[in-house]
Amino acid sequence: MHWAAALPLDPAQSVTAAVKVRMGARCIMDLVPLAAAAVIVVVVLALPPSAASASGTSGGRLHQHALDGIWTLTNKARGLQAAGRVPGGVYSDLRAAGHLPEDLFYRFNDVAYRWPARENWTYERSFQVPRGAVAKAKQVLVLHGVDTVADVYLNGHLLGHTDNMFVRYRFDVKDLLKEDAANLLEVHFTSPVLAAAARAARQAEQYVVPPTCPPANYHGECSVNLLRKMQASFAWDWGPAFPSAGLWKGVALEAYDEAVLRDVGFDASPGASGAWEARVRVHWEAGAGARPAAPAATSAVLSVVLAPADGGAPIASKDVPVTLVPDAHGLGHTDVGLSVPRVSHAGVRRNTCTPPKYFNLVK
């Protein structure tokens, strides 16, 4: 049993993705010809030339337009406006703007500063569509992390509702983007405390799902168990309640013709023949949902290369033809298996890999 840690991809490398895999030192020394600390898995998706790129309108496969930075944070009910940072959250923004004058963790400021969590907030900004993105077949707005209950609007059009802090939201915006004018992106957040209370009231019509509220001496908020939001944000025994709202990860406009690579997973185990059997799972995306006009599938070649992280010759590689057939959300994945001969090193015994220990039992 071996384990891998996926690193975030560089989306600018439109069809190339890399993941650095760390394993136990003994495992890795048996897998690579050097005393490397890690293996790099490089994945390249070779796509057929599309009409848009053949016509010379694009300078690359993917146009990635980051929308991070300073947005405008408003609270219409209070007539309050401040700089809103993305990625970020209301508590940091209100503190930076002077609306929360004292340190949040000083004395009873968790109780004094509970009002931001009971308010609705809007993060908004305008942006121009970059020239290279205009001609692309797919234009997808990607919100990597939304905390938590919100409605997302582009140019006044409701793109969708969010209620899960732990997932990536993607919206097809091809028919909504203005090419020659400013586009207005708004995220309207509902108070997480009020949203949780509303859910609890609805749920109670059937039966109550405990625990409803934290112990009184936590000075926390109730019914966080009905929200897919960081549970500690409503108070925990070790921490105060600061239920934030905001875009806690990046936001980007992605424009491309065929597909992008989103993530790579890696796993390897000792095979029967004395080799390592490596499995690479490549997560790709082709738009943000089915468009009737778009071709259903794309033929491509997926190349997977395993290489020592500290340089040196590749230790294994494989090219596989793939047909990218996305699901109704534009998502898909492809599995590639590789056999990697083991490498002998002085002092390293085979089959001695042990999975990492995360917990120690204390008696």
Ligand X SMILES: *[C@@H]1O[C@H](CO)[C@@H](O)[C@H](O)[C@H]1NC(C)=O
Please report, as ranges, the residues that interact with ligand X according to CB under 6 A: 77, 119-120, 190-191
* Residue 124 Cβ vs ligand X, minimum distance, rounded to whole Å: 16
Shortest distance in whole angstroms from residue 194 CB to ligand X: 6
Placement of tokens 């609306």 in the chain: 99
Instruction: Please count the other Cβ atoms lying within 10 Å of the Cβ belonging to residue 31.
Output: 26
d(CA 229, CA 114): 17
Tell me how far apart the 2 most distant CA atoms of the chain are, in Å: 70
**Minimal distance, residue 120 CB to ligand X, in Å:** 4
Given the structure tokens 């070790």, which residue do they identify? Answer: 238
> Smallest gap, in angstroms, from Cβ of residue 154 to ligand X?
19
Q: Which residue is nearest to ligand X (CB)?
A: 120
**Do 21 and 315 contact (CB within 8 A), yes or no?**
no
Q: Are 275 and 341 in contact (CB under 8 A)?
A: yes
Which amino acid appears at position 131 of this protein? Answer: R
Q: Which is nearer to ligand X, 77 or 346 (CB)?
A: 77
Q: What sections of 148-281 are H helices per DSSP?
A: 192-204
Tell me the one-letter amino acid at 46: A
* Interior angle at CA 7, CA 89 and CA 85, nearest 5: 15
Residue placing its CB nearer to ligand X in the complex, 64 or 191: 191
Give me 234's structure tokens.
Answer: 């409503």
CB of 118 to ligand X, least distance (A): 7
118 or 131: whose CB is closer to ligand X?
118
- For 326, the token pair is 């996305």
Would you list the DSSP string of 237-270? TTB------EE-S-EEEEEESS-EEEEEEEEEEE
Question: What sign does the CA torsion over 84, 90, 95, 101 have?
Answer: positive
Task: Please report how close the Cβ of residue 169 comes to ligand X at its closest, in angstroms.
Answer: 18
Q: Considering beta carbons, is residue 119 or 285 the nearer one to ligand X?
A: 119
- By beta-carbon proximity to ligand X, the closer residue of 119 and 257 is 119
Q: Report in angstroms how near the CB of residue 78 gets to ligand X at its nearest.
A: 8
| Of residues 77 and 216, the one with the C-beta less far from ligand X | 77
Minimal distance in Å, beta carbon 223 to ligand X?
16
Distance of CA 112 to the CA centre of its chain: 33
Task: Quote the CA–CA distance of 166 and 289 in Å, as a whole number.
Answer: 20
Name which of 53 and 191 has its Cβ closer to ligand X: 191
Closest to 242 in 3D by CA, of 92, 352, 17? 92
Cβ distance to ligand X smaller for residue 77 or 328:
77
Give min distance, CB of 95 to ligand X, in A: 20
By beta-carbon proximity to ligand X, the closer residue of 131 and 161 is 161
List the structure tokens of 149: 């209950």
